[in-house]
Structure 1
Amino acid sequence: MRSPDSFEQLDIYVWEGKADIVERVARCMSSFDVEVVRADGMALGMERDAGRAAVAVISVSAMDSSGFSLTTESLQGTPVVWVASASRERDSASYPPDYRHVLPYDFTCAELRTMIAKLVRQLRTRVAELPGPDELVAHSEAMKALLSEVKTFADCDHAVLLRGDTGVGKERVAQLLHRGHQAYGKGAFIAVNCGAIPDGLFESLFFGHAKGSFTGAVASHRGYFEQATGGTLFLDEIGDLPRYQQVKLLRVLEDRAVVRLGSANPVRVDFRLVAASNRNLREMVAAGDFRADLFYRLAVIELYVPNLQERGETDKVALFRSILAEVLGDAAPDLGELPHWLTDAVAATAFPGNVRQLRNLGERIGVIARQTGGWDRAHIERALALARIRTDGPAPQTEAIGDRRGWNSSERNRIIEALEINDWRRQDAAQHLGISRKVLWEKMRKYQILDGEPSIPEDG
């Protein structure tokens, strides 16, 4: 049966917890060309095929049993269908903030299809209204040189390795390389954060799996390699891949074929590979932490993405203006010109989180300006203070806390600072610190860091 427009190129990710709804969802959608994936245990920030729409179907019981909090923010804008508990309790405390789309536990196929079709239509309308990707802000000589190299190498078939600090915009550069290729630029751009691959799911996520290959595999699933065929596969934080996974990636690059879990039939794949890392892969090769043969396959072309300090004050202010214009929209003209004290403060601020941190600041100040109707200096300077970090070295150890509990209080403060800078969004804070979300979570538990907790004062 041909899928209706709403079900074309659609993936449905199901977090079922104890509700046992994956098979029911798969059965309801079995007549259409829709992929249903059981997502319990998967990282919420997982990367999806850019050419396909995605909807999450989440049982309320999954919020606790899956081992993480399901929030609208962590789902990165993916529309959600919530399935009530078996008792049909509709208490608002049982759901995250955005729980408008709720089905009863004993939902019918017609109810599910109608709601999913509505959400997908809304999603695709919103995406169609977004402006196309613009060129990167590049007033500095460092960025102009980078964009010149991107233009030179965009249409070659060879792998590209992007080097640069966390948050400098390596994915944006990868997208420019993708769009600049005459053939692969017409395909999908598949972005994968290698530091967010859950243990034990590498093969399923990258290679895909056949229906029935393991418990919960109610439908076949195309892995990242297949999804990227005809387009570009972007592997961010490639240095976080364990060596046993590096071997499997190298084999795919050499053979250009994959075998899904539970299948014996190889599938040909053809994609352009762009990898990125904020770590020094050459040093990792020398230390034995990264395979030399894989490094040489990745680094046919190496490009360095400069950080904000290297780009200078002009790029900082230009990026800040661009972010504010995006946040304020039609309200921008009513607020008047940016005050000099604000642009001077942005130019003088160090952004170790780079563009990601600058965007966080721009969005925060944009919200303040919109809500107050102007450039409220008191509110804005408080936001600027949160963006600044200590420049006089790490905070001293506090014996009363650090020694008694076995804590490294300077590391604890750095973690809290990163969380504050990123509005306590753990995925962004982990990227800011250059660690995985799982490691950040473990450190928060170790140091007993609660959301919104201030850092320890320097005087102890």
Structure 2
Amino acid sequence: MKGADQIGELDIYVLGGDVDLADRVARYLNGVDINIIPTDELAIPATASPSRASLAMISTTVIDGSAAAIGECQRAISMPIIWIGEVPRGPGQLLPQDFHALPLDFSRAGLLTMVANLAVRLQASATRATDAGAMVAQSECMRALLREVDMVADFNTSVLIRGETGVGKERIAQLLHQKHSRRCIGSFVPVNCGAVPDGLFESLFFGHAKGAFTGAVGTHKGYFERAHGGTLFLDEIGDLPLHQQVKLLRVLEDGAVTRVGAGTPVQVDLRVLAATNKDLPYLVRDGAFRADLYYRLAVIELHVPSLEERGEIDKIAIFKSVIAAMLGDELRAALPDVPQWLCTAISQMRFPGNVRELRNLAERVGVTVMQTRAWDAPRLRSLLANAQRIQATLAERISESAMGRNRLDMADRSRVLEALATNGWRRQETAQYLGISRKVLWEKMRKYRIFDNERISA
């Protein structure tokens, strides 16, 4: 198939509106290693994995069809979009610069060509991001972590990677995969467990057989099968709901998956790595995470230090590495080194978002330097001051939001306690009294840590 070898692994989120788009796309791309994910809303970024090449196909019937609506949608969705159907033409209809469209009666060849072109661009972008994101480890705590990675990389045991948001847990998982002598030739399959739609869990993880449900026009391999011979990385494992944890545990114990709509299990040989920014032992104690799954995943635990733990030496090194990758050889040769005042300012700043936040700031600095072709101190100082103001505002809003949630939670907890007391702590009657299901009542009692001993003390 012309162009198929250029595509590689790819997720395509399809929003057809009143058009049966997903079935048609699946038929036309049958035989290509593409994961077709039908969706019924424009909140595609909430379901997409940031670590896997993804694009969207959206029918113009789901919006009003204006250039303004198309532009707004493209700004909101963090992946390339192929629009299907009629698009606005004429004076005043200024479409976004990165605009791609196919007519409603698109051909198989036209679809394949456009998908292949976008896939090549996504792969090139991912390569640049990987090159710019090489692991910086000048601090002793990071050097110690990398020594641990070297020690455990070539074993098949599960590893739980802990650390705050933005510290680079996925990069550590990638290093474990790359350093494994046998599995490095297999696939590294990252999954954001906190973004898996409940209704698609089985299909995404276990795959499905042809005809298993409406829209299943072909056989689809799930995450487990795609990681066969390689590594499955379960990011944000602490966000996985309890009922999904049970399904996950069974596969990890049996080493086999059964596709939705199929009766024969498929054996899988893979290594499982997981990551979380949550305290899993606390979640286990609180009943929000299964103890057996925790012990299955945490055979080895690695802690990725925060940027503050790593200290000034790594802050400056990361900042300089991002700047160097952006400026390129020619501009770096024409400019003096990063000025000391800028390095000092960066070293003294705090980054709650850790490496991710620092890299974002470094990229803004890099863009400014590329525009001015100079280390323009007034402009750069203004940029840093603005970043700190935004950071302070976000911290304040997060704190206010948390306080608001706490007040609401306390009020809801009191309401549940009062209802339990009114109904003699009988769960079914209390649920009916509150107008909720017994399952929701149980989840509220777990969330608010309401135990039977409160009945005695009441």
Corresponding letter in the other structure for 2:162: R
Task: Give the SS at the match of 1:71.
Answer: helix
Pairing 1:176-215 to 2, within 5 Å after superposition: 176-215=175-214
Counterpart-to-counterpart distance in 2, 1:128 and 1:318:
21
C-alpha separation in 2, matches of 1:92 and 1:294:
59
How far residue 222 of structure 1 moved from its aligned partner, in angstroms, is 1.4
Q: CA, structure 1 residues 394+36, in 2 after alignment: closer, same or farther (shift >3 Å)?
A: closer
Q: Which residue of 1 aligns with 2:226?
A: 227
Q: Distance in 2 between matches of 1:325 and 1:97?
A: 30
1:47 matched to 2:49? The reply is yes
Q: Counterparts of 1:139 and 1:49 in 2: how far apart (Å)? A: 26
Using the TM superposition, give the Cα deviation of residue 357 of structure 1 relative to its aligned residue in structure 2, in angstroms. Answer: 0.4
1:362 aligns with 2:362: yes
Describe the shift of the 1:239–1:91 C-alpha distance in structure 2 as closer, same or farther (beyond 3 A).
farther
2:4/2:32 contact within 8 Å kept:
no
Residue in structure 2 matched with residue 322 of structure 1 by the alignment:
321
| CA distance in structure 1 between the partners assigned to 2:59 and 2:116 by the alignment | 19
C-alpha distance 298-114 of structure 1, shift in aligned 2 (>3 A): closer
Number of the residue aligned with 1:145 = 144
Per the alignment, residue 84 of structure 1 pairs with 85
CA contact (8 A) 1:209 1:260 kept: yes
Give the number of equivalent residue pairs: 395
- Please name the residue that 2:340 is paired with: 340
> For the residues of structure 2 that align with 1:129 and 1:340, how far apart are their CA atoms?
27
For residues 408 and 377 of structure 1, do their structure 2 counterparts lie closer, same or farther at Cα, with a shift above 3 Å needed? farther
Q: SS at 1:230's partner residue?
A: coil
Question: Any idea what the Cα deviations from partners look like across 1:204-228, whole Å, max 9, x if unmatched?
Answer: 2111222222222232221111111
Q: Indicate the residue corresponding to 1:371 in structure 2.
A: 371
| Bigger mean CA deviation after superposition, 319-328 or 99-108 | 99-108
Distance 1:261 1:6, change over 3 A: same
Closer/same/farther in 2, CA of residues 157 and 369 from structure 1, 3 Å limit: same
Which is further off, 297-306 or 111-120? 111-120
Q: Is the 8 A contact 1:12 1:55 kept in 2?
A: yes
Distance 1:92 1:327, change over 3 A: farther
Asked whether the equivalents of residues 230 and 271 of structure 1 are also in contact (C-alpha less than 8 Å), the reply is yes
Counterpart-to-counterpart distance in 2, 1:408 and 1:373 = 46
SS at match of 2:247: helix
Letter in 1 for 2:74: T
Q: Structure 2-normalised TM-score?
A: 0.76
Unpaired runs of 5+ in structure 2?
Answer: 66-71, 408-458
Contact 2:4 2:112 survives alignment (8 Å)? no
What corresponds to 2:172 in structure 1?
Answer: 173
Kept after mapping to 1: 8 A contact 2:49/2:195? no
Which residue matches 1:71? Answer: 74
Moved more, 365-374 or 94-103: 94-103
Distance 1:218 1:302, change over 3 A: same
Determine the structure 2 residue equivalent to 1:419: none
Residues 335 and 374 in structure 1, CA contact (< 8 A), matched pair in contact too: yes
Q: Structure 1: which 5+ residue stretches go unaligned?
A: 412-460
Q: Secondary structure at the match of 1:139?
A: coil
Instruction: Decide which moves more: 19-28 or 170-179.
Output: 19-28
| Same amino acid, percent of matched pairs | 48
What code does the residue aligned with 1:363 have?
A: E
Q: Structure 1, residues 340-374: CA drift from partner, whole Å, max 9, x if none?
A: 21111100001110000001100111111111222
1:37 paired residue number: 36
Amino acid at match of 2:82: V
291-300 or 111-120: bigger deviation = 111-120
State the alpha-carbon separation in 2 of the partners of residues 135 and 24 from structure 1.
Answer: 40
Q: Which residue of 2 aligns with 1:387?
A: 387
C-alpha distance in structure 2 between counterparts of 1:316 and 1:247, whole Å: 40
Q: Secondary structure, in 3 states, of the residue corresponding to 2:273?
A: strand
Q: Distance in 2 between matches of 1:372 and 1:180?
A: 41
Aligned residue for 1:276, secondary structure, equals strand
Confirm or deny: 8 A CA contact 2:163 2:304 kept in the other structure.
yes
